Amino acid sequence: MTEIFDLITVGLFASAIRMATPIAFAALGGIFSERAGIINIGLEGMMLTCAFGAVATTHFLGNPWLGVFAALLIGGLLGLLHGLITIKFVGNQIVSGTGINILALGLTAYMSQIIWGSRGASDAVQGIDPISIPILKDIPIIGDIIGVHSPLVYILIIAVVISYIILFKTPFGLRIRAVGEHPAAADTAGVNVFKTKYYCLIISGMLAGLGGAFLSLGHLNLFAWGMTGGRGFIALAAMIFGGWMPLGAFGASLLFGFSDALQMRLQTLGILPPQIILTIPYILTIVVLAGVIGRVTPPSDYKPYKRE
């Protein structure tokens, strides 16, 4: 048993935060999309494309922050694409999202082969260095856990707070939720339903993009084939587990990030099979969806809106 307790270190918690960051970014993206009434299972692909775009831009321009900017741009464009298909052309949301996921996998591997001559991994590029927060980093234990991280981790925390404020404390947020819950009523009240959905999808893609940029530039400093590895789907799980609330989703992401970090350390010990721990986020989500422990209700019926 002592071996297990030895695993619970400050390092484990710090690593859990790193694991949680891309999931939480994408989960926030999922919230904006679903609050406006559109399912976005393309988060995985959006993240992957942006992880690639961030590395490619850094490779050519030499500045990782330009890479982050590129990720925001690409994410926004993919969000817009999902919007065009599902809003303008009334396409099925699941199909469009799946298409984006497959497109991302193909396009990034194709371009990786063209640029670096390998579809498996890119060359290493300059990443974004971690920063330490003065005062915070000097607090014992807490400082070691949250004091030194990639700037994107702190941007995430700001994004969580801002997302909450936007969604629940501003007129724009009220409009978003109205569009998701009752588009006809929102339309009658003078809200531009379609425009609001487009905005939300663009925000959704940009947030997923930040998650992707963190994966490639804040973690490994390169792009690898399929490097999101299902994190976009875990993000959907975190979003549901967190009840479509920014703080809830952030908490769920931390939990899933922790189980991921723990899983990697347990692998070295061979006590519990890592695959079993990896199933935890998915099983928890099913349990919550089924209402076994506290029921969650989606914020929308996700039907495409048609003006009468």
In whole angstroms, the minimum distance from the beta carbon of 102 to another protein comes to 4
CA distances from 262 to 79, 232, 265, 284 (A): 33, 20, 5, 16
In whole angstroms, the minimum distance from the beta carbon of 135 to another protein comes to 41
In whole angstroms, the minimum distance from the beta carbon of 289 to another protein comes to 4
In whole angstroms, the minimum distance from the beta carbon of 273 to another protein comes to 5
In whole angstroms, the minimum distance from the beta carbon of 187 to another protein comes to 20
Identify which of residues 151 and 298 has a Cβ nearer to another protein in the complex: 298
Neighbours of 269 (CB within 10 A): 11
* Residues near another protein (CB under 8 A): 39, 41, 81, 84-85, 88-92, 94-96, 98-100, 102-107, 109-111, 113-114, 119, 230, 233, 236-237, 240, 273, 275-276, 278-279, 282-283, 285-286, 289-292, 298
Distance of alpha carbon 17 from alpha carbon 21, whole angstroms: 6
Identify which of residues 63 and 92 has a Cβ nearer to another protein in the complex: 92
Identify which of residues 50 and 128 has a Cβ nearer to another protein in the complex: 50
Q: First CA to last CA across the chain, in angstroms? A: 65
In whole angstroms, the minimum distance from the beta carbon of 107 to another protein comes to 6
In whole angstroms, the minimum distance from the beta carbon of 90 to another protein comes to 5
Identify which of residues 57 and 101 has a Cβ nearer to another protein in the complex: 101
Identify which of residues 36 and 146 has a Cβ nearer to another protein in the complex: 36
Distance of alpha carbon 3 from alpha carbon 59, whole angstroms: 42
Looking at the DSSP bridge assignments, the partners of residue 167 are none
Q: Which two tokens stand for residue 186?
A: 């929102």
Question: Strands (DSSP E) along 55-184, which ranges?
Answer: 131-132, 148-149
Identify which of residues 103 and 174 has a Cβ nearer to another protein in the complex: 103
Distance of alpha carbon 288 from alpha carbon 294, whole angstroms: 6
* Angle of CA points 23, 25, 30, to nearest 5°: 90
Identify which of residues 1 and 292 has a Cβ nearer to another protein in the complex: 292
Q: What are phi and psi of 224, to 5 degrees?
A: -125, 150
Looking at the DSSP bridge assignments, the partners of residue 149 are 131
Looking at the DSSP bridge assignments, the partners of residue 121 are 224
Q: What are phi and psi of 42, to 5 degrees?
A: -85, 5
Contact 43, 238 (CB under 8 A): no
CA distances from 236 to 57, 120, 146, 265, 296 (A): 28, 26, 25, 25, 13
In whole angstroms, the minimum distance from the beta carbon of 126 to another protein comes to 25
Q: Can you state the angle between helices 231-241 and 43-61, rounded to 10 degrees?
A: 130
Neighbours of 162 (CB within 10 A): 12
Identify which of residues 107 and 220 has a Cβ nearer to another protein in the complex: 107
